[in-house]
Structure 1
Amino acid sequence: MTGEFDAGTPVSDDVRAAYAYLGAVTERPTAQLWDLVDLVGPVEAEQRIRVRAVGEALTDQTEGRFALVDGTELIGRAHDVGARIVVPGDPGWPDWQLAPLDRPRGRRRESSGGVPTALRPLGLWWRGPADPDLALRRTVAVVGTRAPTSYGRAVTADLCAGVAAEDFTVISGGAFGIDAMAHRAVVGAGGATIAVLAGGVDRLYPRGNEALLQEVARTGAVISAQPPGTGVTRYRFLDRNRIIAALSSATVVVEAAARSGALSTAAWAEALGRPVGAVPGPVTSVASVGTHLLIRDKGAILISRAADVVELAGDLGEVSPSPRGDASTWDGLDDVTRRILEALPLSGGVAPAEVAASAGVSPGTARAVLGRLMATGAAVRGHEGWHRSGDGGIQMSLPVD
C-alpha cells in the first residue's frame, strides 16, 4: 500500500488532524508507524497510539510524545501564520516524488533499538500561496555552501534566474549563502521558489534570513516536514536535505567544501535515482573542493549555464503537450520515456515497479518519468495502477529551449 488512505476522496478534518498528530508523535516517521497507517488508516492509527494498543516497537518510539501532541492544535498554530498541512490524499500531495524515501538507504537505522526507518513524511507543512500540484511539477534544487565566494553568488544568480524563466520551481534550504542567493534570484526574476526548513514554518530560520523567507512565503512557499513550533537541530538539517532532494527532479551544487552539508543533499539525490549536477570552480578555491569531488568521483554532470540545468532536470522524460490535436506522435521522445510509455497498458493498471522492470530502468527513474507523464496527460494513475490516457496520450514533443 502507498499510505494514501481513502485516496481520491476529499481529506476530512479528522484525517488531516490525524496526519498532523502522526507526523509529530515520533521524531522521524518509522516503518512501524507507516505500516500501521497503511493497515488501519490515519485516524485509527492515532487512536491506537493514544491508548497504547500498538506493538512494543511503536510504543517505545512514541513514548515521549503520544500524550502531548495535538494534531488540531498544530493545524491551528499553522493557520496563525497562514500555513496548512498537505497530506496523503490531497491533490497536491507529491506521492511519486516522496515514495522512494521508503527505500532503505544503505544500513541506515534509528540510533536507538536498531529500528529501520521509513523516511517518507506523513505530511508537509506548507506556508505560501504556491499550489503544490503545480509548483512541484518542474523542480530543481540549487544548494551550496553557507560561505560562498563572489563567483559562487554570481553563478547561482545566473543559474536560478535562467531556470526560473523556463518555469522551473527552484527548491533550496533557506540557509545563508548559496541557498539564500538562489531564493533571492528567483524572487527577483518573478519566478517560483520553495524553501524547505529544518524547523517549523512558524519559526523562520535562520533569523538573519527572516525577511527573505517571509518574501518566499508571500510569493512561493516555505515548507517543512517538522510541525509548527519545532526548533532546529543538526539532524533535522540532515533530514531537511532528504526532502529537498526528493522533491526535486535534479540537484545542482554550486559551491561546497569537502564536508559541506550540500553534499548530503547530493547524496540523497543520488540514492533516490535523481540526477546531480555540480558547478566547477577555481582549483585554488576551498569552496569548490566538494563540487570537484562530485564531478570526479560521483559522476555529477558539469554545470556551466542555465541550459545545462534545464537539460539535467528534464532528461528523465520531460515532455510537453503538442499544440496539434489531430495526430499522435512519439517523435522527439527520449529512449527512456518511450520505453516507459510502451510499458504502460491502455487499460487496467500496473505498479511503478512493474513499469521499471518492463522498461529496464530503475524504480526511481520510472517514478520520475511517470510523474511527468501524468503532468502532461500522457499517463494516468488509477485505482488499479498506472496506464496510458484514453486516447493513447502521445500528443507530445520535446520543448524548444
Structure 2
Amino acid sequence: MTAGTESDADLLGRVLLTRVIEPGDEVGGRWVRETGVGKVVARLRGGGEALPGVSGTRWAGLVARARQAEPERDLAVADAAGARFLRPGDTEWPGQLDDLGDARPLGLWVRGPANLRMWALRSVAVVGARACTEYGTHMAATLAAGLTERGWVVVSGGAYGIDGAAHRGALAARGATVAVLACGVDRPYPRGHTALIDRIADQGLVVGELPPGDHPTPSRFILRNRVIAALTRGTVVVEAACRSGSLSTARAAQRLGRFTMGVPGPATSALSAGVHELLRGEATLVTDAAEAVELVGDMGELAPAGRGPVLPRDLLEPAARTVLAALPGARAAPAREIALGAGTTRDEAIARLYELRALGYVERHGDGWKLTRQAVISVRSGHRPC
C-alpha cells in the first residue's frame, strides 16, 4: 500500500472508525455522510469540539478510542488471519447494504475466497433460536440444503441452534454459506463453533463489522442482524420464541422491504410462538426451500403445486369409480340398485362391476354384488387390494 493517496487515507480512516463507532450508530454514519471520513477522523484525533448529536461525555469516550486505534496494525492482523477490509465503493461491496442509510456499516471485514457482492445478490437468511428443538434443526438444515441445491446462498449468524444447523445444511449439500459475526472475524464466536466457522471461511465467507480481536456484546448481536437482513433477498425464521433475538432480523427485513418468511411449528410450542406471531402479520408461511425460492426468486421459480398421494381408486376410469362408490359398504346389492345409485344403465353397471371384480374390488354373491373385505379396507385407507 502506498501511503499518502486519498484512497489510502479513506481506507485507514474507515478502519480506524470501526474501532471507534459502534455498528449501526446512525449519528456516526451521518457524520461520515455529511462531513467525510477524513474530517471525522481529524476531529476525533484532535479532541476538539464535539460533532453534533452526542453529549460531552460520549464524545470524550469516542476521542479516547480514536487515540488508541491503530488502523495499520488492524489491517496487518486481518491480513495474517486471511481477512480483507471492504468499504463502500469497492467492487466487492454489496450495494444493498446502502439501504441501511446512516446505519450502513462503515466497512466490513471478510474472510473467505468468494466475492461477497456476487453472493449477496442471490442469498437468503435462515435464522432462529439458539435453544431449539430437533424439529427446528432438521427444518433449518433441510431448508438450507434445498436452497443451496437451487443455487442460493444461505446467510446466518454462526450461532448455536438454528444458525449452526443452517450453515451445516448448506455445507453438507456442498453449497454456499455466509456467517455474519458480532465480533472480529479472526476470533470465532461461540468458541464451540470455531471449527464450523473456520470451515465456512474455507468454503464460503465469514463477515463482520468489528475489527480483529473485538468481542461480541448483547447489543452487537442485535445490530449484527440488520446486516443479515440487508444482505439478503429475504429472511426465513425457523424457530423463535416471542423474545428471540432472531426476530429482530425479520423486523429489520420488513423495514427494508425484504421478504419475511416463517416455518411453522407445533401450535403448543413456545419456541415457535415468535414465528407464529410473525405469520399472523406480514410474514409468509413456508415449509421448504421451493416455497422460499418462489417468494424471493425470479419469475418462473415456482414451487410445485401441493397435492395428496395418488390413491389406487384415483387410477380407475371415472365410470368405474362412480359404480364402486354406489356399492353399499356392508351388504350385497343387485346390479339394478347399483346402477340407480351410479346414475347409469344396468348393462353399463354390470360391465363396470366385472371390471372391478378383475381388479379385486368387488365379488359376486348370487344375483348381487358386494365389496371385497380388502376393498373395504383399501377404500378407507387408500391402499389397493391384494
| TM-score, structure 2 normalization | 0.71
1:29 CA drift (Å): 5.1
Counterpart of 1:197 in structure 2: which amino acid? L
Gaps of 5+ in 2: 302-386
1:147 CA drift (Å): 1.8
The answer to whether the aligner puts 1:207 opposite 2:191 as a matched pair is: yes
Match of 1:307 in 2: 290
Secondary structure at the aligned position of 1:273 is classed as coil
Match of 1:156 in 2: 140
Query: Residue 19 of structure 2 contacts residue 66 of structure 2 at CA under 8 Å; is this kept in 1?
Result: no
- Encode CA deviations 1:369-390: one digit per residue, 9 max, x unaligned: xxxxxxxxxxxxxxxxxxxxxx
* Structure-to-structure mapping, 1:2-401, within 5 angstroms: 12-28=7-23, 30-53=25-48, 55-57=50-52, 60-61=58-59, 62-95=62-95, 97-102=96-101, 118-296=102-280, 298-314=281-297, 318=298
Distance 1:98 1:71 in 2: 23
1:53 CA drift (Å): 4.9
1:228 CA drift (Å): 1.1
Structure with higher helix content: 2
Distance 2:248 2:33 in 1: 29
Aligned CA distance change for structure 1 residues 39 and 259 (closer, same or farther; 3 Å): closer
Secondary structure at the aligned position of 2:103 is classed as coil
- Encode CA deviations 1:260-304: one digit per residue, 9 max, x unaligned: 1111111111111111000111112222111111111x2210011
Query: Residue 11 of structure 1 contacts residue 89 of structure 1 at CA under 8 Å; is this kept in 2?
Result: no
Counterpart of 1:65 in structure 2: which amino acid? R
Distance 2:49 2:33 in 1: 14
Distance 1:157 1:307 in 2: 14
Secondary structure at the aligned position of 2:179 is classed as strand
Query: Residue 45 of structure 2 contacts residue 63 of structure 2 at CA under 8 Å; is this kept in 1?
Result: no
Query: Residue 23 of structure 1 contacts residue 29 of structure 1 at CA under 8 Å; is this kept in 2?
Result: no
Query: Residue 97 of structure 2 contacts residue 231 of structure 2 at CA under 8 Å; is this kept in 1?
Result: yes
1:44 CA drift (Å): 3.9
- Encode CA deviations 1:95-114: one digit per residue, 9 max, x unaligned: 3x222222xxxxxxxxxxxx
Distance 2:129 2:210 in 1: 23
Secondary structure at the aligned position of 2:214 is classed as coil
Distance 1:257 1:244 in 2: 19
Aligned CA distance change for structure 1 residues 30 and 265 (closer, same or farther; 3 Å): closer
1:13 CA drift (Å): 3.2
Aligned residues, how many? 293
Distance 2:232 2:190 in 1: 22
Aligned CA distance change for structure 1 residues 272 and 195 (closer, same or farther; 3 Å): same
Distance 1:164 1:12 in 2: 37
Distance 1:31 1:151 in 2: 38
Gaps of 5+ in 1: 1-9, 103-117, 320-331, 334-401
| TM-score, structure 1 normalization | 0.69
Aligned CA distance change for structure 1 residues 246 and 11 (closer, same or farther; 3 Å): farther
Aligned CA distance change for structure 1 residues 29 and 185 (closer, same or farther; 3 Å): closer
Highest Rg: 1 or 2?
2
Distance 2:41 2:10 in 1: 10
Q: Percent identity?
A: 45
Query: Residue 17 of structure 2 contacts residue 66 of structure 2 at CA under 8 Å; is this kept in 1?
Result: no
1:12 CA drift (Å): 3.4
Counterpart of 2:8 in structure 1: which amino acid? D
Distance 2:272 2:27 in 1: 41
Secondary structure at the aligned position of 1:175 is classed as coil
Distance 1:268 1:193 in 2: 20
Distance 2:215 2:243 in 1: 24
Report the more deviating stretch, 124-133 or 60-69.
60-69
Match of 2:335 in 1: none
CA RMSD of aligned residues (A): 2.2
Query: Residue 213 of structure 1 contacts residue 222 of structure 1 at CA under 8 Å; is this kept in 2?
Result: yes
